[in-house]
Structure 1
Amino acid sequence: MSPRSVHKRLATVTLALLAGAGFAPAVPALAQDQAASIELFAADGTTALGDTVLHPGDRIVVRGRGFDPAANTGGLPVPVPPGVPHGTFVTFGAFAPDWRPSAGAPTTSRAATRAEVQWVLSESALNQVPRAPFDLQRTIRNQWVPLAADGTFSTTIEVTQPTKIPADAGYGVYTYAAAEAVNPAQELAVPVRFDPTPGPNTPKTPPADLTWAVAPGFSSTITGPLQGSVTGADGAATRDSALTFALDDADIDPRTGRGVLRYRGTILAFTRFHLGEIALADPWIEFTEHGTWLTAETSTSDTVGTDSLRRIRIAELDAVPNPGQTEWADVQATFEPVLAPTSLQLYAGRATAPLSFRY
C-alpha cells in the first residue's frame, strides 16, 4: 500500500465523517469527583506489582479510576468523530523523561509496541463512532477497554520490548489522552522494573523456514509514513523488514520434486488506528508441472484483517521441482496479475522481494 494511496483513503474517511456531522457526545458522568490514577498488579490481579522484575511476555493488570468519560473531546477527526470523547491510551512502554503531549513532546518520545497499546473509552462514546462508509468502530474494538460511568477501568497488558527507545527512557505503564486529544490530568506514569532478557513467559521465536519481505519498502512504508505496524503470530514473525513463517508440513513427491510445502503463521499489517488492516496467512509453495507458485490466505478487503480471508495465488516463482532439494535461497518471483485485497494490487505484475525457504 503506497503512502499516497493510504493518505488519500484517510482524507476520504475524514471528509465522510465531517459531511455526516450531527454527532453529539452522550457519555455518563463521573460518579464522584476524583483525580485520575492507576494501580498495577501482577497477572493474578491481586498481588501489587511493586518492584517485581518483568520480562517480555509477562502480564500486568492495570486498574484506573478518576478517568472522566466525558473528557478528551478534541483531537483527530478519525476514528472518533469531532465532539465525541476520544478516550485514553494505556500502554507499557519506554518513554523519555519529557514525554507528555500537553508539554508538546513528540511521538518519538513515547516508545511502545503499537499492537499492545490499549484504548480506554466508554461504550457510549464507542457507539457514536461510525461504521460506514468505513467500519471505524472495528479499529477501536481491536484494542478497546471499557470505561465505566464512574471513571474506572481494568485491563491486562502484555509486556513487550519496544523499538527505537528514546535516550534516558524509563520503563513503565503510561496513560495519556487518545487520538491526539490533550489532557494533562490523564498523563500518568508508574515505573516498572523491566529486564529485556527472556523469562519463563517470553514467547519462543518460531523457526524462519520461509523468509520473505513481500516487496521493497513494504514494511518500512507501513511502519514509517503510515504510522502503523507489522506483526506476526501463530508461527509467523517479523525480523527487520522480512516476514518469516514456520514449516507446517511437506507433501513432496521424492521422484519428481512436485508437491506442496505448507507453512503456518499470520502476518498482520495495519496503518495508524487500523484504518487499513490486511493479513497474510499460511503461505504455501506449490510445485506443479506448469510452474511454481506462492499462495496464501489474504484479506478480502483492505479493512478486515483476519475477519475474512481467501487463498489466492500471490506470485510465480523462478524455481523448478528438483528431487532431493530441500532448501532454496533468494528465489526470484513475480506478483500475479490479479491480487487481493486492493492494496496489494499495486504490486501486480511486478517483481517481488526474493524468497528463501526450506523443509
Structure 2
Amino acid sequence: MKFARFAVISLLALCTAIAAAVLAPAAEAAPYSPAITVFLADGVTPVGQTQLHPGDVVVVKGTGFDPNANTDGLPVPVPTGVPHGTFVTFGKFDQDWRPSKGAPESARTTDRAQTKWAISDDALSRVPNAPFDMRRTVRVGSVPLHRNGTFTAKITLTTPKDVPANGRWGIYTFGAADSVNAAQELFVPVNYSTAPGPNTPAAAVRNIVWAYSPNFYSTFAKSAQGAVIGKNGASVSDGKLGYELTANTVRNGAGELRYTGTVVAYTRFHLYEIALTDPIIRINGTKAVVTLKTSTTDQNGTDGLRRISVADLTLTPAQVAKLGRGENVLGVPATFRGGVTPPLLGLLSGGPASPVNFVF
C-alpha cells in the first residue's frame, strides 16, 4: 500500500514537471552580436600595434554575424530577399564611413580585389547561375559565413588609390551589396605603412606597355565601377597594361617576343570579368601579330582561357632590327582584328587600338 501511494505521488510529480516544461515559455535564442578580431598571418597572434606593410597578411575572425540578415540591398548579384552577407575589407576610410549613417561609397576607400565576401552556403546556392553565372561572381572572393555566425577571412594588405587624408587604416565590415546593417559596421585599426616591407612584392617589370584601346581601362575602372589589375608578372599603371619579357627570338627580321603575366579587368561585383594573359608578338618582316590568352566568356576570368590573335602591328625594318638587339621601340601602330572574343572584349576592340611600346 505504501509502495502504491509512493508510486502515485512520484507519477504526479513527474507529470507536473513535464507539464511545467511544456507550458513554460521557450527560451529565446541569444541575439547575434557581431564582433571581429584581427590576427597576424599565423591566425593566432593579435595584430595589436604591429607595423604592417603592403603584402603582409592578416586573418580576420568574425563571430555573431547573423547568416540570415541583410536581405535588402541591390537585386544583383544576390537576389532581393536572399541574405546578402557581409563585406570584410582593409582600407583607409573616412571618420564618417558608415552606410547606416548615410556615408557615400567614396568614404570607404579600399582595394576591391582584396575585399572578402562573408556569405552562407545556403545564400550562395540561391544566387542564379543562369543566364549569367552570378554565383561565380559572389564565390570568387567569398568566405563561408557559418550557421553559428562565424567566419574566417585572410586578407593581403595593399594600398588603395586616392585614400582620404583624414582616414583611418584598418579592417572594416559592413553589409554586402548595398545592404545596410548598423550592427555589422565594425572597425579594427591597423598600424599600416605604405612603405615597402619584407613581404611587399617586387614591382613587375614592364617590358611591353599597351593601353589596349583608348577606352579599355576607363570602361572597367570608371564607367563600370570595377578595376583593372595585374598579377604574376603583369601590372597596370596610368591605365596601361604591362607584361614581363620571358623570351626574345627575333633574328634577321623574324621571331617572337614572349611575355608573362595576367591582367584581369572586371566590372562592379565581377558581373563581367575578362583576363588578358601571356602576350606573344610574332614578327615576320615589318608585320607582327599580337596574340593573347583571353577568357572564353565575359564572366569567367582566368577559369577558362584560350589564345587568340587580337591585333596587327606595323613595324619599320629599323624597328625590327632594334627589337632583335633588345632596344626600346615606342609607339608602334596597332590595328585590331575582327572577331575578337569574348563579346565584351570584342566590343572594346571595335574602334582604334592603342600603340604598343616595347621596353627592355
Taking structure 1 as the reference length, what is the TM-score of the superposition?
A: 0.89
Cα distance change on mapping 1:102 and 1:336 into 2, 3 Å: same
Residue range with higher mean Cα deviation, 183-192 or 296-305: 296-305
Unpaired segments ≥5 residues, structure 1: 1-29
- Could you list the per-position Cα deviations for residues 22-75 of structure 1 after superposition, in whole angstroms to 9, with x for gaps in the alignment? xxxxxxxx9742410000111111111101111000011100101001100000
Question: In the alignment, what sits opposite 2:282?
Answer: 286
SS of the residue 1:252 aligns to: coil
Find the aligned partners of 2:198 and 2:222 in 1 and give their Cα distance: 32
Give the residue type in structure 1 aligned to 2:356: L
Find the aligned partners of 2:334 and 2:31 in 1 and give their Cα distance: 62
Deviation of 1:166 after TM superposition, in Å, equals 2.1
Alignment counterpart, residue 96 of structure 1, candidates 94, 97, 107? 94
Question: In the alignment, what sits opposite 1:19?
Answer: none
Moved over 3 A (4+): 347-350
Question: In the alignment, what sits opposite 2:84?
Answer: 86
Residue range with higher mean Cα deviation, 212-221 or 62-71: 212-221
Find the aligned partners of 1:337 and 1:110 in 2 and give their Cα distance: 41
Question: In the alignment, what sits opposite 2:137?
Answer: 139
Cα distance change on mapping 1:274 and 1:232 into 2, 3 Å: same
Cα distance change on mapping 1:349 and 1:134 into 2, 3 Å: closer
Question: In the alignment, what sits opposite 1:317?
Answer: 313
Question: In the alignment, what sits opposite 2:16?
Answer: none
Unpaired segments ≥5 residues, structure 2: 1-27
Identical residues among aligned pairs (%): 48
CA contact (8 A) 1:31 1:150 kept: no
Find the aligned partners of 1:31 and 1:223 in 2 and give their Cα distance: 44
Residue range with higher mean Cα deviation, 83-92 or 348-357: 348-357
Deviation of 1:320 after TM superposition, in Å, equals 4.2
1:126-165 map, 5 Å: 126-165=124-163
Question: In the alignment, what sits opposite 1:123?
Answer: 121
CA contact (8 A) 2:72 2:179 kept: yes
Question: In the alignment, what sits opposite 1:47?
Answer: 45
CA contact (8 A) 1:31 1:149 kept: no
Higher helix share: 2
CA contact (8 A) 2:322 2:329 kept: no
Alignment length, in residue pairs?
328
CA contact (8 A) 1:110 1:166 kept: no
Alignment counterpart, residue 111 of structure 1, candidates 101, 109, 112? 109
Give the residue type in structure 2 aligned to 1:309: L
Deviation of 1:289 after TM superposition, in Å, equals 4.2
Alignment counterpart, residue 269 of structure 1, candidates 259, 265, 271? 265
Find the aligned partners of 1:75 and 1:37 in 2 and give their Cα distance: 22
Find the aligned partners of 1:323 and 1:265 in 2 and give their Cα distance: 25
Taking structure 2 as the reference length, what is the TM-score of the superposition?
A: 0.88
Find the aligned partners of 1:31 and 1:266 in 2 and give their Cα distance: 48
- Could you list the per-position Cα deviations for residues 127-167 of structure 1 after superposition, in whole angstroms to 9, with x for gaps in the alignment? 11111111111001111110111101111111000111124
Structure 1 residue 333 corresponds to structure 2 residue 334? yes
1:293-304 map, 5 Å: 293-304=289-300
Find the aligned partners of 2:123 and 2:289 in 1 and give their Cα distance: 47
Question: In the alignment, what sits opposite 2:343?
Answer: 342
Deviation of 1:312 after TM superposition, in Å, equals 1.0
Question: In the alignment, what sits opposite 1:194?
Answer: 192
Deviation of 1:324 after TM superposition, in Å, equals 4.7
Find the aligned partners of 2:315 and 2:181 in 1 and give their Cα distance: 57
Deviation of 1:357 after TM superposition, in Å, equals 1.0
